[in-house]
Structure 1
């Protein structure tokens, strides 16, 4: 069973344009994410799904310079872009990730994939009932079921958010993964400058000694610096 991770990425962002290529220690956030995902034991291939918009040429340049496969599709119909990328590069199993999650934990990604493989689900996610920090989100689904989503989902919400159709209809067997401890109050995604400041602090303090730092390593760091959690605590996640 081939597992393909597809990361949707674009330079346009209403709150923080160009966020995914913002640098910490002279290294783009997207490079940190790809480096961490390379340690996954379950992922066979990683693909960037970006847009045909000219401003995303810089993402293509990044991919070409770093030997990362990519696909360019619609900027607004994200579902079609994602489906076309899956058709071109995907195996039987697709892992959906977003490029604003530079601290993604490959162990958590692998746990989700393994749970999916060991059971007979169409869709598995750790974000439906949040217990993990925002920014460690992972979704896993079959390429076969995704074809059904692509063909049947018509609402603008579903075309923009790619996988919403899985959990807003009753047509699929889905499973929600929960952490033993609820860390959902933490926000480790990058959508605002405040988010970036927090991520920058985390990377600067952990990466030099342990590039593959884990969820628990970050939690321990924040226990030592609880005031850091206030940096972006007021930021609200965009609603579907």
Structure 2
């Protein structure tokens, strides 16, 4: 909720629902997860997110505002989870099928960390074994973990599995995350084209639409460079000595 580029973006409305409600509804469509948990902060401004979780009959956890990994760990411990799949609150069109496939891959491999390659930005999710998450939280020397994947992929300490997107979904140049006003306009157009009457639509349908109407993907393409510059300013991976 503290975004300066698009203030209170989780509560912005598209088709009569807040963006975070669209995400909740899509996450609930996944079959494999035992439960859906909204992880938000103890900042008073984020109380409304916990209230939305209750409204939509999912669990919630409120923790550190800056330390996402600590928040994830404490939420997992509260709900006694051994493996979690994370979706960022900006990624409002998460694909339920990918959530299920991530869990299935964990059951086959017992990987510490599972990520995806080739998907549009904002379409992927990440799977984390809670035992590995606990180890990271014990070792890290940084309390700002807004960007945190490197703790699993760059340290060489964990079993990492990278899943390949199928050919039809392999569109890494497409931007599907909510961070700038242009992103909001992109999502508004997607919902206008595919989401009439609250209809659910899949990632495949989105990408087919973008093939047919490539001008939609151009709506927010210009903000990607600024987004990448913002990521470069994120706190680095630092472990305790």
TM-score, normalised to structure 2, is 0.87
Counterpart residue number, 1:168: 154
- 1:208 lines up with 2:192 in the alignment: no
Work out whether residues 15 and 191 of structure 1, in 8 Å CA contact, stay in contact via their aligned partners in 2: yes
The number of equivalent residue pairs is: 226
- 1:222 lines up with 2:210 in the alignment: yes
Counterpart residue number, 1:6: none
Counterpart residue number, 1:87: 77
- Structure 1 position 54, deviation (Å): 1.4
Counterpart residue number, 1:142: 129
Change (3 A) 1:210 1:216: farther
Q: Which runs of 5+ in 2 are unaligned?
A: 235-241
- 1:69 lines up with 2:59 in the alignment: yes
What SS class does the counterpart of residue 186 from structure 2 fall into? helix
- Structure 1 position 209, deviation (Å): 6.7
Return the alpha-carbon distance in structure 1 between the equivalents of residues 76 and 38 of structure 2: 11
What SS class does the counterpart of residue 154 from structure 1 fall into? coil
- Structure 1 position 160, deviation (Å): 3.1
RMSD, matched Cα: 1.7
TM-score, normalised to structure 1, is 0.88
- Structure 1 position 17, deviation (Å): 1.3
Return the alpha-carbon distance in structure 2 between the equivalents of residues 163 and 222 of structure 1: 29
